Structure 1
Amino acid sequence: MRVTLAFAFACALALPGAAGAGAPDGPLEARHLGLVINEDDPDSVAVGEYYGRRRGIPAANVVRVRIPERPRALELARFRLLKAEIDSRLGPEVQAVLMAWTAPYQVGCHAITGAYTLGYDAALCRDTCRIGQPSSYFNSPARRPLREHGMRLSMLLPIESVEAARALVDRGVASGFHPAPAHAWYLETLDAARNVRAPFFPRPGPAAGGRVTIHRLRADALQHASGVLVYQLGKAQVDGLDTVRFVPGALADHLTSHGGDLLGTAQMSSLRWLAAGATASYGTVSEPCNHWQKFPNPSVLLRHYLNGDSAIEAYWKSVAWPAQGLFIGEPLAAPYDRRSRMRVP
């Protein structure tokens, strides 16, 4: 990863705290989500149908496509046909799309989620370290991204095994019940090139009315921690994940160049976060250099999540230039939605 830090613009970041008065719309729900299943992938069919049942996705929001051979990357022309097919089947109420598969996850230098939501930027692929296409949704108070920003959010529900994917779905559903006290961990590592988000780490102390405790730690890995809601750091490989216990709805990611190359081996895949028990994660699929704007901003992510946004909303709002970034996990996890306080497990 080339060491180039670009603070191209300033953004005002409120410290996370108890959720205040919000817009009348709540976070995204099942009726707002399109579910895309690959009929040529039996695991996609099994997991997609399970997700549809568990989340109550309307039948009209389920799109079945055919992508044979599960390629890691799609050619641009093939991707455009896929996107057109998906969009033609979804109504204006659908604000986000979940693709139930691991591959394909890339289109040129773009993540498939970035290409689907923002469109394809050919100039970026000529120099992947350049400034990315800015997202108008970054740090936005919007509740309906398609209606308010003309953006239909997207996320991948990856499948290492059907059992693991079902467990991931179950964690997302479980997050909707009243959350237990939890912890948000931010690590300042010795990896200077990947530690560029440290200035944006929230201040240590209580948040969300005391239900979440924020910690900052100078270390290269978290060890033997429980009740983890957020875990963010900058490292190519993260040790000790088998000792970390995540709560349902947990968000976790590591700033490195190729975390979004899910099936690659050069650096730790973002899939490892989900395998360790997190519910959503993020990683880039091509060399981004270490522009902090191409990665989740820790303060923005935490603030929107604690204020009741779903995982897909909070993660998308936290990335200023998300074209190269792959969003993965269970999109509707929303442990701090006010309505969750009224639910009974």
Structure 2
Amino acid sequence: MRTVRSLGANLRFSKYMTHAALMVEAKRLIHTDRDIARAVGLKPMTSENRTIVALELHSDEQSRKPGILVIGGLNGMAWGSPNAILELADKLLYDTNYQTPFFNDYDWFLIPMGNPDGINFTQSLRKLTPVDPLMWSQNLTARNGTRPTHWYKNVDREAKEGPCFGTNVNRNFAYHWQDDVHKTPERCSQLYPGAKPFSTTEAQAIRKYVDRLANIVHLAIHLHASFVPKKEYILYPWRFSTRAPSNYRTLQDIGEYAARQARLSDGRLYEVHQSSDDQRVAGSLSDYLSGVVGIDLVYLIKPYHPLYPNYSDTTILETYVKKSLTSMLSIVRGWRSSTKLNTLSFFGRDVEF
């Protein structure tokens, strides 16, 4: 018998997740429930020899169910994203409130921390004095006792010469790479996409993993973060172009359904629209999942997350995690509603079971 419990709104992980802590939790999950949970170490390892781990959750190994892919922690500042995805895994496995309809009806593929080097880098600098990131990158003297005000990249060093390092992993995927700009952002920029597509080990590892899920996953979510207060989004492809995808109406309808279900505490709704409506971004993970892997439903979710949040303030982390859980599962509910999966009609009203 598998251990089950009903936790309600309580969260299991109350501290920001480090890569070391993530590896411990992954081992705990597979040791406790090895019949339904599996941890996969992705290759290659990062430039600082960290393993990107994927968690695979299957309620029934004997049958294949629609797959849901969730990837987070791709941005060096999205500290709460790994917590939210680990919290999701924990609740799917052990919380009776989540097993039906979410766990029993789907196979889940979760990558909590896609950029462990970048997250470790920013967490280690959190107590230092903030400096403009371009100045910090270009000037070695400016780095003494300081940190960049934000860091969206990993920490790889493609070029041996020069002080600048790091690549924006979410601009490094090989789908319309660099189609949004006329000139490559300079090496010191937080938008630097790499010397070529898949130049980062993080993008390479994620590509190898998601490519084999092409015929399994039907819904993919990239859990990101918005760093602007009261600007929170549920977005869908394309990011590289203002051209709408062929299934944009379905994507918009499911997104709007999710926004209503995940209404924010102050009454606001997530803004739901095509990713490029605000800014064109080429080489992104979400466009790669849609355009190359061929996943029909792909969403980018961005709840608000402050830059360098107070590490000891659990309220900030709890707020982000709860919003992330609610919005991700609302997307799943919206998908179920659109397909009438597990619903019966009583007197003209659809009732989910």
- TM-score greater than 0.5 by the shorter chain: no
TM norm structure 2 = 0.31
In the superposition, the TM-score normalised over structure 1's length comes to 0.32
Which is greater in Rg? 2
